[in-house]
Amino acid sequence: MRVAPFTIAIPDVALADLRSRISATRWPEGAPGPAWSQGTELGYLKGLLGYWAEGFDWRAQEARLNGFRQFRAGLGGVQIHFVHERSREGRGIPLILSHGWPSSFLELLPLVPLLTEPKAHGIEGPAFDLVIPSLPGYGFSQRPQRANYRDVARLWHELMRTLGYDRYAAGGGDFGAGISTHMALEEPGAMIGIHLSTMEMRPATGEGTRPLSEAELAYLKQTRRWDEAERGYSAIQSTRPQTLGYALNDSPAGLAAWILEKWRSWSDSGGDLDTRFPRDELLCLLSLYWFTQTIGSSMRDYYDNRWRGSEIRPGERVLVPTAFANFDHNFVSEGSPPRELAERLYDVRRWTAMPRGGHFAAAEEGELLARDIAAFFAGL
């Protein structure tokens, strides 16, 4: 397998096309009622797109991203993009970190200096060799015909072996937590441990398992309430992602509205994205989806994980040491799951309640997350 250096270089014609499409946006009327109650607020989106077209400097972002060591490797018949940054403090623990949706490898980049040079940042614990891939079908990674959690876990094992690592760790949130879980299930002997910031995979419950505790029942009830109010996006992406993809791939306004509504509601933003994330960071993420035309292929994760065999099978259990960093405002599941629910599936060795931060942990509270990762692996 050939691993080749990779440099981001978006052509000028793509930047001009983006500006042209933004200027030609056909805006709908605003929704009645409180702002954001029916979706992305019109005034916010108009202001953001105006800046995207006239003020945002993609070339500056491109230069910043090209300061990281990036590569592409042939895995499973497709090209996979990844960042590979080695420890600056001697031999590092190999750690592959995976993002989720609607995110990208960009979310995890704040961890690079913190975990490759922890001492320089006042973090106690080991240094790491970081591998940060773009999931198949996101950004500069191609997507095979099928790519559920199990499929991607196998690709990541292949990637780590290709990079010369025999034993390694994994971590992430959202889909990244699902992939890391399946890495531990597929090849536990290769895994040092896994560190998760969301509980993506649910253990089997019901017949043949111990009765649910009051805390577990309350959490599952909260999750059902959230599903009823918020999971419309998942219903369409897990059934008809192609139909939605036509619109989002063609309209910068549609793409921004679809993605940023999730970043607002799932993060510890207090309802105000501008107080939590610099607009340049959000527009860098949107630009990555736009220029690579991968919103459609990224949404197929929901289809493949729902219909193509990524569920936890009866009797499966993660025997690899596992840590959970539970961020206080992870609105995807209305708060943290009870530890006893996680322990049905995982060998939980560390359970940290974070005082702030939400679903996009590395982008929101990179230092808190890095300290927890370092402490967990120091203990192993």
Say what the alpha-carbon torsion angle 199, 205, 208, 211 is, to the nearest 10 degrees.
100
CA distance 289 to 117: 30
Q: Show the tokens assigned to 270.
A: 């207090």
pLDDT in tens, 65-76: 999 999 999 999
Which one of the listed residues 182, 303, 359, 372 is annotated catalytic?
359
pLDDT in tens, 318-374: 999 999 999 988 865 556 899 999 999 999 999 999 999 999 999 999 999 999 999
Is 90 exceeded by the pLDDT of residue 295? yes
Catalytic residue list contains 168? no
Q: Could you tell me whether strands 128-133 and 168-172 are parallel, antiparallel, or unpaired per DSSP bridges?
A: unpaired
Give percent above pLDDT 70 in the chain: 98
Is 90 exceeded by the pLDDT of residue 16? yes
pLDDT in tens, 40-73: 999 999 999 999 999 999 999 999 999 999 999 9
Catalytic residue list contains 57? no
The pLDDT confidence band at residue 89, using thresholds 50, 70 and 90, is very high
pTM for the model? 0.97
User: How many Cβ atoms from other residues are within 10 Å of residue 218's Cβ?
Assistant: 13
Domains of the chain, start order: 12-20+41-203+242-379 (3.40.50.1820)
Per-chain mean pLDDT for the chain: 95
pLDDT at 104: 98
CA–CA distances in Å: residue 174 to residues 33, 121, 345: 31, 27, 16
> Is 306 in a helix, a strand, or coil?
helix
Element (H, E) at 200: none
Which one of the listed residues 302, 304, 329, 346 is annotated catalytic?
302
Which one of the listed residues 151, 174, 268, 304 is annotated catalytic?
174
Catalytic residue list contains 233? no
pLDDT in tens, 191-241: 999 999 999 998 988 788 899 999 999 999 988 888 888 899 999 999 999
Cβ atoms of 315 and 306 within 8 Å: the answer is no
